[in-house]
Amino acid sequence: MANVIFIPIFLQLALGIYLKLHVHEKSVRPYAVIAHGVVGKAYPVIGWVQMLFGAIAFRGYCRGGHLGQCLAHYIMGSGFIAYAIIMAIMLLVGEAWVRRSGRSPEWWDSWIITLWGIVNTFTEHHGGSWSVKDMQHTILGVLWWCGGMLGIFLARNNQRTVVPSLIIILTGWAMSEHAQALMISTKVHATFGKTLMLAGVARIIEVCFIVPKFTPETSSIADDNNSEHTLADMLLVAAGLIFMSATDEELHFVHDEGMDHVTYLLIMYSLAFVIYTLIVSLIHLYTVTGRNASSAAANGSIELTTPTSKWYARVPSGDVDAENHVIGEDDD
């Protein structure tokens, strides 16, 4: 995988040099711009996959009969984190796009949940007798596409709905009741489920009380100061990370090392805080650099343009006439 990463790196470099030449403006260049953007946007996914492969190779996980469980945990856990990132982008800096699209965030949520549920329904059972886990995982897929279709219908005409949040809560409840062979595994899965449930509750609060409706209007890019939107996304990142760290091989290693579930879960939550800090930092960087730098400065996102309190006033520029004060001339 490490050698494969050089392909998009060199491709991005070649496309960047070509675009700087400003040739073939009306023939090849428009397609090169699209390709340059696609390759650039693929870097987070490529980097994430490479990081996971590194951890797996370091510990020698996912071999033999453990491959299926690894795929399930790592793909679904990464899916929760990707879902949180997309929602963070939409709610922190993508409100203008959401308004222009005429679709509420829950409409997009419901489509993702529906499609994921269809895939999950037909990929969890691989023939033979049905185990309890097969039945639980398959019915979760059915829940997702059934609830997702309801969410799509209710979210039509730019309406917000709590159906995706309810699906997240039900999924969390099911996972919290997921019995495992080891006690530490049961505890970790229970915490994963409860974290999902908290994310669903936080999302319901956001939908019902914070932003109950997106009016279809056009506006410039918003700043990223909407911190009230971030709780559900942060919890989804934590849930995804916990689920990725809940494979049998990982938890057997933790159990053999004598670590309890509290310590292990706090480590995962700490990593989730670090990852989400990186996410919102990159989103903030997007809002204040590049093509958004001028609008950010105009909106006061980088510097304060007027005094906002008695404790702050900008230093006057050099062309402003100001009376010089000499120490010692005051009459007391």
Q: Please check whether residue 186 is in contact with residue 226, taking contact to mean a CB–CB distance below 8 angstroms.
A: no
- pLDDT at residue 269 in the model: 97
CA distance 162 to 154: 9
- pLDDT at residue 304 in the model: 39
Q: What is the pTM of this model?
A: 0.80
- pLDDT at residue 299 in the model: 58
CA distance 117 to 144: 5
Instruction: Give per-residue burial for 230-243: e unless 16+ CB within 10 Å, then b.
Output: bbbbbbbbbbbbbb
- The per-residue pLDDT for range 291-324, each reduced to its tens digit, is 777 665 655 544 434 444 444 344 444 444 555 5
One DSSP character per residue, 132-187 reads HHHHHHHHHHHHHHHHHHHHHHHTGGG---SHHHHHHHHHHHHHHT---SSHHHHH
- pLDDT at residue 59 in the model: 86
- The per-residue pLDDT for range 220-254, each reduced to its tens digit, is 455 555 666 688 999 999 999 999 999 989 999 99
CA distance 105 to 102: 10
- pLDDT at residue 136 in the model: 86
**Please, what are the averages of pLDDT over each run of 10 residues along the chain (332 residues)?**
83 93 90 92 90 89 85 90 89 78 86 91 79 85 95 90 94 87 88 95 89 58 60 94 92 91 96 94 86 64 43 46 52 52
Q: In terms of residues, how long is the chain? A: 332
